[in-house]
Amino acid sequence: MATLELRGIKKHYGSIHAVDGVDVVVAEGEFLAILGPSGCGKTTLMRMIAGLEMPSAGEILIGGKPVTHLPPRARNVSMVFQSYALYPNMTVARNIAFPLKTRGMPTAERDAKVAWAVGIMGIGHLLHRRPARLSGGEKQKVALARALVRDPALFIFDEPLSSLDAQVRTMARGELRQLHDRTGVTTVYVTHDQLEALGMGDRIAIMQHGRVHQLGTPQELYDDPADTFVAAFLGAPPMNMLERDGHIVGFRAEYLLPSASPAAAHDDALSLRMHISQLEFLGAEWLVYGEIENGATPQKLLAKVPPAVAATLRVGEQREFTVARSRLRHFDSTTGLRVRDERG
């Protein structure tokens, strides 16, 4: 295990600032998810950590030692890519052993390490197959076993689950997190999928335009977003946002609930009269699509309610909805930054 420190990391391609001043410290054994949309700079940042790109400015330390100008092989980092990068002409066993063979490790020691990694990943039955005969989930496990045998100080994952179908991806999330908890290897996990980041990360760094907008635990980011980008990007559905009195008021869909009557509104809650335009069944819950009058332009809102509540609602009707003022989050309408004046 090792710490990872990023100090003022920048990467410029001419006038394009792909990464623009990132400062992050990852603790020993921590699982950090780097989350953001395509083009936000997360993959470039990952490549600099791995040594595949050189920063334009800043310093990278692994285990307290500067590695900014070291090649990948000198950083003791294992990477797992979206494509898995398995050699098609090699069996699973030879794929896993390959990084050890290139180091010149003695055969007995190499075989022992391969057996250990194979046991952890539960892929002993695949050893004599070639990649063409593996499913997506099996390829992922082989790639993880190959990363494990190197005994790395740091794991780096680059969208490793994106090519899997939804059901396999759900299971793979749990297996990846279990692998981390079992090995304790410090992990940086790059993804555009918020379910992966929320479900696996000890902390999440949310990036946009080359910068980290917020770094914190999944709960911190979900409950207390630092700005409107984080509020809108994290969560399904995204946070509702209203322009009110020169600032932006945000609240999560699950906190917007229909009132039993207009009299149910009180000083501790914001009351909104909403026209219901659509009800969407999601299994354990329903999404309620609606609009409220908000100045000259109608404002679209989403509520998330349990089936028993959804059964009382009808498309086309006007209903009073409320949200507790303690659930409101306020943002500056110009900068988008969070403000602590929690007015309703």
Per-residue pLDDT of the chain (344 residues; tens, 9 = 90+): 799 999 999 999 999 999 999 999 999 999 999 999 999 999 999 999 999 999 999 999 999 999 999 999 899 999 888 777 889 999 999 999 998 988 888 999 999 999 998 988 889 999 999 999 998 888 888 988 898 888 889 999 998 888 777 777 888 888 889 889 988 999 999 999 999 999 999 999 999 999 999 999 999 999 999 999 999 999 999 999 998 878 899 999 999 999 865 444 556 889 999 999 999 999 999 999 999 987 667 899 999 999 999 999 999 999 999 999 999 999 999 999 999 755 44
Return the amino acid letter for 169.
R
Grouping H, G, I as helix, E, B as strand and the rest as coil, residue 97 is helix
4-228, CATH topology level:
Rossmann fold (3.40.50)
Find all residues with CB under 8 Å of 28, minimum gap 6, and list them. 1, 2, 3, 186
d(CA 251, CA 242): 9
Alpha-carbon gap, residue 314 to 306, rounded angstroms? 14
Domain with CATH 2.40.50.140 in the chain: 241-332
- Rounded Cα distance between 111 and 98, Å, is 11
Burial of 11 (0-12, 13-18, 19+ CB in 10 A): buried
Using DSSP, state whether 79 is helix, strand or coil: strand
Residue with tokens 């990036």: 207
Q: What pLDDT, on a 0 to 100 scale, did the predictor assign at position 74?
A: 92
* CA neighbours closer than 13 Å in the CB half-sphere of residue 101: 9
Q: Provide CATH 3.40.50.300 ranges for the chain.
A: 4-228
Q: How far apart are CA 47 and CA 158, in angstroms?
A: 9
Q: Which CATH architecture has domain 241-332?
A: Beta Barrel (2.40)
The answer to whether the predicted template modeling score (pTM) of the entire model surpasses 0.95 is no
HEC per residue, 238-281: CCEEEEECCEEEEECHHHCEECCCHHHCCCCEEEEEEEEEEEEE
